[in-house]
């Protein structure tokens, strides 16, 4: 694993075009999904996907092989999302940079129908997909990194440049937000 | 069953998803979920929710990877050209500077000789000598700035 990471770092330092081609193929699904979950806009996610790989090319020498490549990749993509959100004034995404500066998220108080019932009676994935866009981007992000990408808490903390305690707290709140938002999102 | 037990079970269940549990807590939680239908339903519901979350379909746009690969390769080529062009410019600059320093006495003698022949005042000679040095440097700076402008314009035209 470490040898692979060192080989990868070496290739990135040399700007090996074949290596970059392979990485783009290998990570296309995960990176695009991450960007789409964060932005909620396919066209923007596509632009950012390309920009992320340009940054990987230009800053490949900064990858030190101490962390997983995907953590480094997601961190680059995240910074691009924050940059774009600041330029284009996407308020929901600006919260990624500083969520504490915004109003606390208030989950909808609709617990009449359990999440399970909804999931059984409706198109599960579609319901969740709709619901996802209703919860704040900083919760979507941690949920994706933890439960989709299956990154560890410390790896997520590395991607977000945050303490592990903050990551945990966002995960707990994100889970609550997802569960609470589902009835409304699927209604 | 008391609210405290339900509340503890829900807290531990969330903890098991987020950061994992120790053996004793895991065992307590499993025991509670076997005995409490309400907490068991809640746990199943949450697991189903996460399963659905993992299965949210995301289709990568057709050709996105190929377009990105092409763009990255083009940028790499541009960077390589800029980098080799920059190195060449440095070599030329250093060579030109050395040549200038070594040839300075000869150039000054040439200016003095031409001044004497044309009967020019000394300030004109000095100004000519300064321009002899400054004009090539100014032209070189102009060329570099122009080249940079062209590079950034072509980079911004990239899709």
Complex prediction ipTM: 0.75
**Domain shared by B16 and B72, yes or no:** no
A175 touching chain B per CB within 8 A: yes
**Chain A interface mutation, best of B42, B48, B52, highest count of A Cβ atoms under 10 Å:** B52
Helices then strands, counting H and E runs in chain A, come out as 10, 0
B43 shares a domain with B11: yes
Residue B75 at interface with chain A, using a CB cutoff of 8 Å: yes
Verify that B73 and B50 share a domain, yes or no. no
Cβ distance A42 to B61 less than 8 Å, yes or no, reads yes
Kindly give the parts of chain B with pLDDT less than 50: 158-159
Place of tokens 């938002």: A181
The answer to whether residue B107 sits within a structural domain is yes
What does CATH list as the number for A108-186? 1.10.10.10
Query: From the CA of B159, how many Å to the nearest CA of chain A?
Result: 9
Residues 6+ apart with CB under 8 A from B119: none
Q: In terms of CA atoms, which chain A residue is nearest residue B58? A: A33
Global confidence as pTM:
0.69
Are residue B17 and residue B95 in the same domain, yes or no? no
Mean pLDDT rounded to a whole number for chain B: 83
Picking from A57, A61, A180 by the largest number of B CB atoms within 10 A of its own CB, the best residue to mutate is: A57
Ranges of each domain in chain A: 2-97, 108-186
pLDDT tens track for A161-180: 999 999 999 999 999 988 88
Judge if B107 and B151 occupy the same domain: yes
Q: Using the 3D structure, point to which of B33, B54, B75 is the last residue of a domain.
A: B54
Please state the domain count of chain B: 2
Lowest mean pLDDT among A14-18, A76-80, A144-148, B116-120: B116-120
Q: In the structure encoding, which two tokens stand for residue B25, read together?
A: 């807590």
- Higher-scoring residue by pLDDT: A122, B100: B100
Q: How many CB atoms lie within 10 A of CB B117?
A: 8
Q: Which fold has domain A2-97?
A: Rna Polymerase Sigma Factor; Chain: A (1.10.1740)
**Residue A178: how many CB atoms within 10 A of its CB?**
25
**Crossing angle of the two packed helices A17-39 and B64-118, in degrees rounded to 10:** 110
Residue A130 touches chain B, beta carbons under 8 Å: no
B146 near A CB under 8 A: no
Q: Is residue B98 within 8 angstroms of chain A, CB to CB?
A: no
Q: Which domain holds residue B141?
A: 64-157
- Verify that B47 and B86 share a domain, yes or no: no
Compute the distance between CA of residue B157 and CA of residue B78 in angstroms, rounded to an integer: 13
Residues B101 and B83 occupy one common structural domain: yes
Same domain, B20 and B94: no
- Asked if the structure places residue B103 within a domain, the reply is yes
Confidence of residue A1 (pLDDT cuts 50, 70, 90): low
* Disruptive mutation site among A56, A172, A176, A180 for chain B (greatest number of B CBs within 10 Å): A172
DSSP annotation of A149: S
pLDDT digits (tens, 9 = 90+) for A30-42: 999 999 888 888 8
CB atoms closer than 10 angstroms to residue A25: 13
CB spacing of A54 vs B72 below 8 angstroms: yes
Greater confidence (A127 vs A102) lies with A127
pLDDT in tens, A136-146: 888 989 999 99
Tokens 């960077």 belong to B79
Domain assignment of residue B102, yes or no? yes
DSSP letter at B55 equals T
Please indicate, yes or no, if residue B59 is contained in any of the structural domains: no
Contacts of A17 in chain B (CB under 8 A): 72-73, 76
Average pLDDT taken over every residue of chain A = 80
pLDDT digit string, tens, across residues B94-118? 888 788 778 888 888 888 888 888 8
Residue with the two structure tokens 């996460």: B50
Indicate if B46 and B101 belong to the same structural domain: no
Over residues A146-155, mean pLDDT: 91
- A97, pLDDT greater than 80: no
Buried b (16+ CB within 10 A) or exposed e, B20-40: ebeeeeeebbeebbeebeebe
Q: Where does residue B63 fall: left (phi above 0), alpha (psi -120 to 50 degrees), or beta otherwise? A: left
pLDDT for position A104:
52
Same-domain status, B25 and B80: no
Contact assignment for A179 to B49 by CB distance below 8 Å: yes
């Amino acid at each position: 694993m470490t040898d692979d990471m060192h080989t990868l770092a070496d290739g990135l330092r040399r700007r090996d075009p074949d290596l970059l081609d392979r990485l783009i193929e290998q990570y296309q699904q995960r990176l695009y999904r991450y960007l789409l979950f964060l932005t909620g806009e396919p066209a923007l996610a596509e632009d950012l996907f390309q920009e992320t790989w340009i940054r990987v090319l230009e800053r490949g020498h900064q990858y030190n092989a101490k962390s997983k490549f995907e953590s480094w990749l997601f961190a680059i993509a995240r910074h691009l999302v924050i940059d774009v959100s600041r330029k284009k004034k996407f308020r929901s995404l600006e919260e990624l940079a500083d969520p504490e500066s915004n109003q606390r998220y208030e989950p909808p108080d609709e617990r009449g129908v359990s999440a399970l019932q909804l999931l059984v009676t409706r198109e599960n994935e579609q319901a969740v997909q709709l619901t996802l866009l209703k919860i704040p981007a900083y919760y979507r992000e941690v949920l994706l990194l933890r439960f989709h990408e299956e990154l560890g808490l410390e790896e997520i903390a590395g991607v977000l440049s945050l303490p592990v305690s903050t990551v945990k707290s966002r995960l707990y709140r994100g889970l609550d937000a997802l569960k609470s938002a589902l009835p409304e999102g699927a209604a | 069953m008391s609210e405290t037990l339900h509340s503890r079970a829900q807290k531990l269940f969330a903890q098991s998803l987020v950061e994992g549990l120790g053996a004793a807590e895991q065992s307590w939680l499993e025991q509670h979920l076997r005995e409490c239908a309400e907490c068991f339903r809640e746990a199943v519901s949450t697991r189903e929710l996460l399963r659905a979350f993992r299965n949210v379909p995301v289709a990568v746009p057709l050709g996105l990877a190929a377009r990105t690969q092409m763009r990255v390769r083009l940028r790499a080529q541009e960077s390589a050209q800029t980098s080799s062009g920059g190195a060449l410019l440095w070599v030329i600059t250093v060579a030109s500077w050395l040549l200038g320093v070594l040839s300075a006495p000869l150039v000054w003698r040439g200016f003095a000789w031409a001044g004497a022949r044309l009967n020019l005042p000394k300030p004109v000679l000095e100004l000519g000598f300064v321009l002899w040095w400054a004009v090539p440097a100014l032209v070189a700076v102009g060329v570099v700035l122009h080249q940079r402008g062209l590079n950034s314009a072509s980079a911004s035209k990239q899709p």
